Copies of this chain bind each other. A is one copy, B any other.
């Protein structure tokens, strides 16, 4: 029985509230062997005090050695095995810019590229053209008309854009055009199953038109389509966990993933203070809150150790206000590590703390990677967190008689 099947079988309704606080990319690395990680360097009296009355541990987002993207990292936090439930690249791109994807839409991630006179790719990213240029080219590509379907072309960033086809009878199961190496031409989209043949034909018509429209541009005189996909139709958290779920996140990507798993996405502002305000406003309406802090990851990706420390410290000052709402279960962790020294998502385990009235304190007094290595939760996986949260909230019945 899968994790989610077990939850679906055992979950019961209740009045308790679970708060999942996700500091995106919070896991870090020391800059010198004896130095602290970002989280350890941060002055976090409130997180430390919470850790001292919690059970702590380390959590593996997907599997040892695997650095997850934001999609798999969050699916795992919500209890979905990311090796089983995949969100296509096109769908993630749509979520990332807040595009209102419909269940039958086919979404593709587009990459502008450079072609030589023979039509072979010489640069898969078109020299990373500025975002403004990408936007202008997308405006041009919006002129493309396809029979019986609506098309949407939206700029994302630099050489990346989103293409969505909307209409009846569009099936997924399509190959991508990117040959993944230079010196080859973009490949035709091919259907992997008979029902997808029409969609393949439409994407190929679009590609031919796009090539004609881009012919006089440079370096972005061509493009590729990757990860053509639909909303994966994931099982929904309210059905699985019998929880009314609210999501508070400032970035479209995370709001989008939350929507895919059936959470209600609450309107909020740009800052963590805005998010806390949103949490307070809606506190009575939901049983589960996903509260997402983005900037820890952003500073990690920038390689900005000090900046990441500051985001953590900022969050720490707001923690007492959050905890004053008196949740029954609190989890603090991240979706993955983003060490400033690595400047990207990494595979490293995440420190995690779990507080409820029903935990066994483990002597960990500081919320940091090294203290949590010795924590009472041991080394768990992200997909274990929701079952633990549910249990500590008194929302799971006994398994078997």
Contacts and interface: CB of A to CB of B under 8 A. Distances in A.
A344 B401 CA distance: 12
A6 B64 CA distance: 11
Contacts of A29: 358-360
Contacts of A362: 370, 373
Contacts of A361: 30, 33-34, 370
A63 interface: yes
| A interface, size bucket | 35 or more
Interface in A43-75: 53, 58, 62-72
Nearest to A40: B360
A35 to B, nearest CB: 9
Given A360-B29, A361-B30, A391-B347, A401 B70 contact: yes
Contact of A66 (B69, B392, B399): B399
A230 interface: no
A373 B370 contact: no
Contacts of A82: 399-400
Number of copies: 2
B65 A400 contact: no
A33 B53 contact: yes
Contacts of A387: 63-66, 347
Q: Is the interface of A mostly helix, strand, loop or mixed?
A: loop
A67 B399 contact: yes
Contacts of A89: 401
Contacts of A342: 358
B391 A65 contact: yes
Interface stretch (A131-139, A216-224, A377-385): A377-385
Contact of A347 (B53, B58, B396, B401): B396
Nearest to A397: B67
Nearest to A58: B378
A1 interface: yes
Interface in A351-384: 358-363, 369-370, 373-374, 376-380, 384
Contacts of A373: 360, 362, 376, 378
5 contacts: A30-B360, A66-B399, A69-B399, A346-B358, A362-B370
